[in-house]
């Protein structure tokens, strides 16, 4: 039986932009930024969810099962693009 986490962490991922306001790309693909509570957690990453999970683990944030590895993070809901929320 899975219990609900005490609190939720909401990661908002958006495309990174260059100085000319165009989407940023590298040879590995498009770059993204990630924010949690208005604080920039990930900047210019091709894998923002993995990088955000690593940053949160480094800050001491743990998943609901108390594990310490990225494998223990569980999907609690579905990801909804911000455009769909407006």
Residue 30 phi/psi, 5-degree rounding, is: -70, 150
- Please indicate, yes or no, if residue 23 is contained in any of the structural domains: yes
Question: H or E segment at 30?
Answer: strand 29-30
* pLDDT over 90 at 2, yes or no: no
End-to-end CA separation in angstroms for the chain: 34
Distance of CA 85 to the CA centre of its chain: 17
The whole domain housing 59 covers 11-64
Q: Backbone dihedral region of 64: left (phi > 0), alpha (psi from -120 to 50 degrees) or beta?
A: alpha
Residue 29 lies inside a defined structural domain of this protein: yes
Q: What is the pTM of this model?
A: 0.65
- The total domain count for the chain is 1
Residues 8-65 have pLDDT tens digits of: 788 999 999 999 999 999 999 999 999 998 899 999 999 999 999 899 888 888 765 5
């Amino acid at each position: 039986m899975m219990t609900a986490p005490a609190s939720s962490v909401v990661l908002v991922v958006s495309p990174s932009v260059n100085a000319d306001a165009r989407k940023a790309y590298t040879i590995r693909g498009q770059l993204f930024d990630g924010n949690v509570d208005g604080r920039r957690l990930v900047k210019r990453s091709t894998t923002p969810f993995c990088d955000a999970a690593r940053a949160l683990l480094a800050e001491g944030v743990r998943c609901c099962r108390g594990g310490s590895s990225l494998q223990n993070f569980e999907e609690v809901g579905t990801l909804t693009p911000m455009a769909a929320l407006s």
